[in-house]
Structure 1
Amino acid sequence: MPSTPAIIRVIASPQSWVEGEALRQLEAAARLPGMRAAVGLPDLHPGKGAPVGAAFASEGVFYPFLVGNDIGCGMGLWCLELPARKARPERWAARLDLEGPWEGDAEGMLASLGAKPCGFEASLGTVGGGNHFAELQRVEAVHDPAAFAALKLESDRLLLLVHSGSRGLGEAILRAHVDRHGTGSLTEDSAEAHAYLTRHDQAVCWARANRATIAERVMRGVGTAGSPVLDVCHNSVTPKAWNGQRHWLHRKGAAPSDQGPVVIPGSRGALSYLVQPLGDGAAHAHSLAHGAGRKWTRTSARERMRERFTPDALLRTSFKSHVVCEDRDLLFEEAPPAYKAIDRVVGDLVDAGLVRVVATLAPVLTYKTRSRRE
């Protein structure tokens, strides 16, 4: 296989803080056999063995460990029929409960989105831990009225943003690969590569169905209906034609720039940005930031925030939005100061000519978890 050095690019301004360990991980991934490009986005931060907020292009082989254990994780956006003026976040925060198995037709929901039952249906419609959430939002400002209208959005309606993945399914798929191959690659067109990709694609479909089910539960919980606007995956590996050759595009916490508009959320105490990708995507691996990106580790966030705030103080934000999170550790770990400034992250993408801001969205109610039920 050719030994051409991989292109390494970090899209971040001097004003953006990128941890040295994240850069080391990016460079280490760029040295993997077959790697042709490693791109760090403005939300780049260290992950478990590989950085988050990055995209990688390889030739002839691909690396499941670069995708990680939450295959199919992504963001879905719904426009609700409920006017923003009728929001009742305090009432909803008291009663909204997404824990436990969904009581609806799991097989039917999966089938409607091209997925099949896989043994993890007890988790269908649940948010999960970490940085996952379901957030009711209002439109703060419309910056591109034509693009906003093209998505059939209305500025006076509430929106619902869901960030979740394949729950235990993706983890089981990665574990099976690691048990046999460690962090090694799979050669394209091999039987093992085909087997992994079949399971991978199933997890991507399952995760999309999970987000749709979460949306269904939230809408039922607040007494409204809605329609899907977009759904994008930010943990995946897919074939992609690039420079006249087939490559394998790995995204680890990286939103696609080749599938239409995406939402880039901030912390639960910040705006989210609805953006329109620009350009042909070749210079940045057809990928964008998927969020604000962590600034502090979870351990550091717990220690720092416990010194500064009581748990109750973190259940409201500077936007006067409400937060549902009954896991105290998670409440501290996911506190807004633990994340980078989303306006800087999106500003870097704008300055690089990669996106145009369509609208900004403000939090009304952020749902994390009712209790430790993972």
Structure 2
Amino acid sequence: MGNHSSGDVVPEGDDGARKAAVTHYFTAGSWIEGAAVQQLEEIAGLPGMISVAGFPDLHPGKYGPVGIVALSQRLYPQLIGNDIGCGMSFFELSLPLRKFRVEKAAEQLRRLEQIDLGDITTRLVEHDLAPDMRPQSLGTIGGGNHFCELQAVDEMFESELEGVADRQKLYLLVHSGSRSLGAELFGQTLGGDEHLRDGLAAGSDAAVEWLARSGECVRWASLNRQMVAERAARALRADLSLIADVPHNLVRTTASGFLHYKGAAAVGAGVVAPVAGSRATRSYLVQALAGAQRSHWGISHGAGRKYDRKAMHGRVGTNRSERDALRVNAWGGVAICEDRNLLIEEAAGAYKDAAKVVADLEAFGLVRPVAAMKPLVTYKNAQPQERRPQKAKWERTTIRRMRHG
């Protein structure tokens, strides 16, 4: 583990084999694991790889590092993983901040995934998807680091971007992906006859099929985030409008080759994108600058993990009072998470500092900060309402006590 400075890595390995150029878009002050940097080097040595960009949220992954964009002449599905199309969508709510009450909103959001979404098949067809494509999973968060979070502006950096952030308004950030749809494609791809270590040749049947099906996953995931937000808005009795929808697990096909985005937000010039913190730290809105063309139009999508899930057990939440403390934050916000393990594994301490991530992105001329957002209610999961009346009362009392000291 340790810190690493910025700059291009010499594009030749110790064995004399040519390697892709590797650019670090992070400073010496970033907390980057050595294992992640090593994975970055390994990716650079894959056949057909042209260049690789690593961002300040870089951390190790199972099939390669998370927080990268890799340009290659060959297609590497394993670099994207199983949550194809995962991304973040940012919405403005019609509910003004002055009328907002944390405890009331938390109770309303507890039934988020029970709200009827109406004719789902029509929505699928509207997004050029088959009407039977996992309709029962649409509008659901999923596990891991996915969430639906009510936010408000904590600090403004750019007043020029009207309609993006306002201190008097409430906002919704949704982080979710393609659920079992992407996992199914990933499993089938790994189980195929192709030798994925060397990637898939451009134009091959396997590459064409994967690109088509992964495109469906990206569209499904975007619709999923929209429907999660619609459920949240209905629960809060509010209207919503989309500000940004930015995926970070996908492949873009270009004239130069395949751009693999793994945990890196795929943006364009002037695009506004969220950079998520944790449920107890600030998230950020940033605007991509023309300089992001150097990083293949990729930027960090969040703070990035500092400790893996296993390592968090024993660090925090060892007793009930510690776990209760994990449900509240410095702004009086609360987390709805009834999975004890998930509560611990997704604690704020598991993540890097999103402020430092944004500072690095800004230092390299990739983005400019627009606003810092404070978390007010973070929904991760909840039991069906009818099964938990006594527990709900105990949680309300506990949260109220902790919020007010």
Instruction: Report the TM-score when normalising by structure 1.
Output: 0.93
Specify the SS of the correspondent of 1:107.
helix
User: Structure 2 matches for 1:43-192, cutoff 5 A?
Assistant: 43-59=57-73, 61-96=74-109, 97-99=111-113, 102-147=116-161, 149=162, 151=163, 153-180=165-192, 181=194, 183-184=196-197, 185-192=199-206
Give distance in 2, aligned partners of 1:100 and 1:4.
Answer: 54
Offset at residue 312 of structure 1 (A): 1.4
Question: Is 2:379 the partner of 1:367?
Answer: yes
Give distance in 1, aligned partners of 2:165 and 2:301.
Answer: 21
Offset at residue 95 of structure 1 (A): 3.6
Residue in 2 that maps onto 1:311 = 323
Offset at residue 182 of structure 1 (A): 5.6
The residue identity in structure 2 corresponding to 1:8 is V
Offset at residue 100 of structure 1 (A): 5.5
Greater Cα radius of gyration, structure 1 or 2: 2
Deviations 1:184-225 (A, max 9, x none): 411111122111111010000000000000000000111111
Residue in 1 that maps onto 2:42 = 28
Give the unaligned 5+ runs of structure 2. 1-16, 385-405
Specify the SS of the correspondent of 1:255.
strand
Residue in 2 that maps onto 1:17 = 31
Q: Please say which of residues 175-184 and 67-76 is displaced more in the overlay.
A: 175-184
Provide closer, same or farther for how the CA distance between residues 342 and 152 of structure 1 changes in structure 2, counting only shifts above 3 A.
closer
Offset at residue 153 of structure 1 (A): 4.5
Give distance in 2, aligned partners of 1:38 and 1:318.
Answer: 38
Deviations 1:265-288 (A, max 9, x none): 111111111111112434322200
Specify the SS of the correspondent of 1:28.
helix
| Correspondent of 2:348 among 333, 336, 357 | 336
Give distance in 2, aligned partners of 1:68 and 1:313.
Answer: 33
Q: Relative contact order: is structure 1 or structure 2 higher (C-alpha 8 Å, sep ≥ 6)?
A: 1
Specify the SS of the correspondent of 2:358.
helix
Residue in 1 that maps onto 2:292 = 281
Give distance in 2, aligned partners of 1:115 and 1:338.
Answer: 36
The residue identity in structure 2 corresponding to 1:299 is K
Deviations 1:67-93 (A, max 9, x none): 110000001011111111111221222
Give distance in 1, aligned partners of 2:322 and 2:122.
Answer: 43
Offset at residue 51 of structure 1 (A): 0.8
Contact 2:87 2:247 in 1 (8 A): yes
Instruction: Report the TM-score when normalising by structure 2.
Output: 0.86
Give distance in 2, aligned partners of 1:285 and 1:349.
Answer: 13
Deviations 1:272-317 (A, max 9, x none): 1111111243432220001000000101112211347622111101
Aligned length: 363
Structure 1 stretches (4+) deviating beyond 6 angstroms? Answer: none
Offset at residue 227 of structure 1 (A): 0.7
Q: Please say which of residues 39-48 and 187-196 is displaced more in the overlay.
A: 187-196
